[in-house]
Chain A
């Protein structure tokens, strides 16, 4: 007898009222106890699949064709009440933003309790016991005390653990997780993903795991479906799709992902962006055709259908055999041999920072945030700082920008000694040393136009350039970060995430700085956008002779664009040197642990680099 699938989606279409399709002909099936990953860039329609199951599609959208069967029962033909009963009890959900998923006015215990009441726990005492037990299952310390806490008193990671515990509380058959780690602090993402995997094992649930992170999907999932422009372009076993993909898009994604092993190589950048639902409606052929490196005439006129290539592996491409021919661009010879200039842009000698904290009875406590840092960044050099959160990376940034005073030691940034704190010096320093903020969403005022954003720092100059001059400067800067000139009058909300990050970088370049300090600037981006930004930074180094201090949790990213790396642990530098040396042959235990963790359980990155 054929084993029944827990979830079976067939021919699912989601359309706008205009008839443009957000999802078209999506087929997915999840067997019992399996994890199916849906990967794709933002806007591909991943969340819509989850929303169809949860019946939370945005108002303007509707399912226009196809069916969703849960455990053999079609969800579409159920009454609202039956469906509501099913959701949350037989189907659990882990949301993307744990901070907004809980009611800020109720305690964790109250919300957990009412969830348990809904799924059939009658007695308060029983509910409390069960809550505590579930919270312990997800490794939340002191779970009894947590019950009386409010959501804002917990970190994002802890809240996500609470929500994971809730999702599994009813022993659901299916759990839908929509980017459950994306909103979390980057350093704890891996741990939360691991937790989900373990919960799946102990509860025997099936999971629909939606993510944009290729490596995460490969680590966690049994099968993977790749979604592009609302259509599934490839599906099959996770290792095959990552290791030997049969669709150009999947291949391009893995070539756009930096690796930690194998020879260093430039990243493949896909030109352009994914077509919107409106643009897709008028495309006769393959949606990828305008961007595909191996496209032909036929691709623009014929839509390829999802067809089997090997057993259990399907690809929607006319030429699956050409996929292995797609290669990353060759390294430019002079780039590899480039030497940093003689000037030192940033030098720290015995740099230390101590905060004096007072506890509630007024006792003084010294917190040593940084201890004895010695390092330098030379002209045109890219240096990566790695370390977990709390290792002092942010404190270092603040010291460099002159936002905090140095306790002991020396810090010279762009020729300004850290001890000089007059307003004029600070202003001059901050023209030379620019910070690129992590989250462009928060760093760009949504009510300023792009043109006014990139030239914002000119507004405080004593002699303000004329409007025309400013707009010329803005166009120049936008060209530097490869944005079309017509974005100048748009507003941040009208740009994609990658474009916003480019604006963010362009703004930092406005004062012709010598050093950029970049705090996790690619961690929130899609793989292909990340590749574009990383290649952009490389190009800027050639052109603008800029130095970069890149703070990142992603060792592969650091390896890809930095010359040297500094590994920080508990406020100290435990190791520094050229990236290949440090990551290839780590000396310190902590670096070794970092490298091992980055290579992951299934050593995906190894598979990927072998296949290239």
Chain B
């Protein structure tokens, strides 16, 4: 099936392109946003986007306080990406380190880490993060911390199995015989083999972090009120859903596209980086 390989390539390019665009938007937000996100223009509130009869002054319209929606979306991307990148890196580091320790050393430490993961996983993740926020308080850094503390298990669980498989390879035994230290073996022999998996999980985690951040902002447990965030925009636009549906639809669309792009990217990276998942198994 030649078509399939091409399809996978196209998916990689499309999702990679979308992700880069979102990241670029986040990075350049202060320069590309037409207005200050918190500037209120009380004379023109709840304006529709330009294609639905609005003015060119506010391309995507304004919200109930007359703030420019396009600018808020762009700055919202900055918030979302900041949270997603730091949270995903943190979850990745914490999860990977524990996974390497558990999978490589096995025995009691593996038992302890695995039980901890199981207990963690028995809580619904959103509830767990809300509980954490209640405990930690509100703030961008708190949101990041909450996501890390909830989602490291995803990395840990998947990677631990991968590390265990690698650990059983003879090249690890050889490195031990040759006198390599455990740390060195993990870094030089084990980690390169599980790196594709880490990259894939990271990409998926970016999408998940975006959703969690949006949910927390939506219930006002996320970033502070003066930081524009997509979840907050949805919450603000709720009351005017009939008179100004765009204010609600646009941030939802942004979240949707972002999550979809990261998921698709993770999927196609997995296919490209890991030869096993593309190999068709004979009967």
- Chain A residues near B (Cβ < 8 Å): 17, 47, 51, 54, 56, 58-60, 93, 95, 100-101, 401, 403, 426-427, 430, 435, 437-439, 442-447, 456-457, 459-460, 507
Contact = CB atoms under 8 A, between A and B. Distances in A.
Given A58-B280, A95-B282, A442-B170, A460 B1 contact: no
Nearest to B177: A430
A505 to B, nearest CB: 13
B178 A456 contact: yes
Nearest to B3: A59
Interface string B256-283: 0000000000000000000000001111
B2 A17 contact: yes
A36 to B, nearest CB: 20
A64 B119 CA distance: 57
B175 interface: yes
A321 B222 CA distance: 87
Contact of B173 (A437, A444, A446, A459): A437
B281 A457 contact: no
Interface in B168-185: 169-171, 173-175, 177-180
A438 B1 CA distance: 36
A445 B179 contact: no
B282 A56 contact: yes
11 contacts: A54-B282, A59-B2, A93-B283, A426-B179, A430-B179, A437-B174, A439-B170, A445-B189, A445-B192, A445-B193, A446-B193
B31 interface: no
Given A442-B169, A447-B193, A56 B178 contact: no
Contact of B283 (A54, A403, A426, A447): A54
A456 B193 CA distance: 17
Contacts of A430: 177-179
Given A430-B177, A447-B192, A59 B281 contact: no
A201 to B, nearest CB: 25
Given A59-B1, A100-B281, A447-B193, 20 more contacts: A51-B282, A54-B282, A54-B283, A56-B282, A59-B280, A101-B283, A403-B177, A427-B179, A430-B177, A437-B170, A437-B173, A445-B169, A446-B193, A447-B192, A456-B175, A456-B178, A457-B178, A457-B179, A459-B180, A507-B174
B4 interface: yes
Contact of A435 (B169, B177, B282): B177
Contacts of A460: 178-180
Nearest to B189: A445
A493 to B, nearest CB: 9
Given A59-B1, A95-B282, A444 B180 contact: no
Nearest to B191: A447
A507 B175 CA distance: 11
Contacts, number: 59
A546 to B, nearest CB: 18
B174 to A, nearest CB: 6
Given A95-B282, A460-B179, A445 B1 contact: no
A186 B281 CA distance: 24
Contacts of B179: 426-427, 430, 457, 460
- Interface of B, secondary structure class, is helix
Contacts of B2: 17, 59-60
B197 to A, nearest CB: 13
Nearest to B173: A437
Nearest to A17: B2
B98 to A, nearest CB: 23
Contacts of B193: 445-447
Closest 6 CB pairs of A and B: A443-B170, A442-B170, A445-B171, A447-B192, A457-B178, A437-B170
Contacts of B174: 435, 437, 443, 456, 507
A95 B283 CA distance: 7
Contacts of B280: 58-59
A507 B1 CA distance: 40
Contacts of B281: 100
Contacts of B177: 401, 403, 430, 435
A443 B2 CA distance: 34
Nearest to A493: B275
B183 to A, nearest CB: 12
B171 A442 contact: yes
Contacts of B173: 437
Interface string B102-117: 0000000000000000
Nearest to A178: B282
A460 B176 CA distance: 11
A451 to B, nearest CB: 15
A574 to B, nearest CB: 29
A47 B283 CA distance: 12
B199 to A, nearest CB: 14
Contacts of A457: 178-179
A165 B178 CA distance: 44
A51 B280 CA distance: 12
Given A443-B170, A443-B171, A445-B189, A59 B178 contact: no
A444 B281 CA distance: 23
A56 B280 CA distance: 9
Contacts of A101: 283
Interface in B3-50: 4
Contacts of A56: 282-283
A444 B179 CA distance: 16
A95 B281 CA distance: 11
